[in-house]
């Protein structure tokens, strides 16, 4: 019980620190931002709110100004089940990418952040 309370408190501290140190959003022209919104329409990030790796990934989304849907895999049974049955494991963060008629489930925060950086930083 003490360990759970410590973990919850630490998670909330991480979320608070993220909030007060959030990076600036990347500026784009309205046309370029519309292109990014269209490119990210088929993406969703499955995450836990206070998970440190998820926080890092969300910071990248914020910094790159990416409107990617966030799916709470901890408190939403439907999203948790989709992550398990379609993605293969309840492991977060996980970026679901629907494009070209196929679906890719990308795990590992470093891989997700690198993918997003490579694909959207120069747009």
CB-based burial label for 89 (10 Å; 0-12, 13-18, 19+): exposed
For residue 110, tell me if it sits in a domain.
yes
Number of structural domains, the chain? 1
Query: Tell me, what's the pLDDT at 29?
Result: 95
| Predicted local confidence at residue 90, as pLDDT | 94
> Does residue 121 belong to any structural domain of this protein?
yes
Q: What is the pLDDT of residue 2?
A: 85
Q: Is residue 33 situated within a structural domain?
A: no
Domain extent at residue 118: 41-123
pTM above 0.85, yes or no: yes
Sheet holding 69-72, edge to edge: 69-72, 43-47, 94-99, 102-107
> CA-CA distance, 112 to 15, in Å (whole number)?
19
Does residue 30 sit within a domain?
Answer: no
Taking the C-alpha atoms of residue 73 and residue 81, their distance in angstroms, rounded to an integer, is: 8
d(CA 29, CA 78): 36
pLDDT at residue 5, as a whole number: 87
If the chain, 123 residues long, is cut into consecutive pieces of 10 residues, what is the mean pLDDT of each piece? 86 91 94 96 96 96 97 96 95 96 96 97 83
Position 11 scores a pLDDT of 87
Q: What is the CATH number of the domain that holds 110?
A: 3.40.30.10
């Amino acid at each position: 019980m003490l360990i759970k309370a410590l973990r919850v408190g630490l998670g909330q501290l991480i979320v608070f620190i993220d909030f007060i140190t959030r990076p600036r959003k990347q500026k784009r022209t309205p046309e370029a931002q519309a292109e990014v919104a269209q490119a990210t329409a088929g993406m969703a990030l499955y995450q836990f709110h206070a998970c440190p790796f998820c926080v890092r990934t969300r910071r990248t989304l914020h910094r790159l100004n990416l409107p990617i849907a966030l799916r709470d895999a901890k408190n939403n049974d439907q999203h948790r089940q989709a992550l398990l049955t379609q993605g293969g494991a309840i492991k977060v963060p996980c970026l679901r990418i629907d494009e070209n008629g196929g679906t890719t489930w990308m795990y590992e925060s470093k891989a997700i952040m690198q993918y997003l950086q490579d694909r959207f930083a120069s747009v």
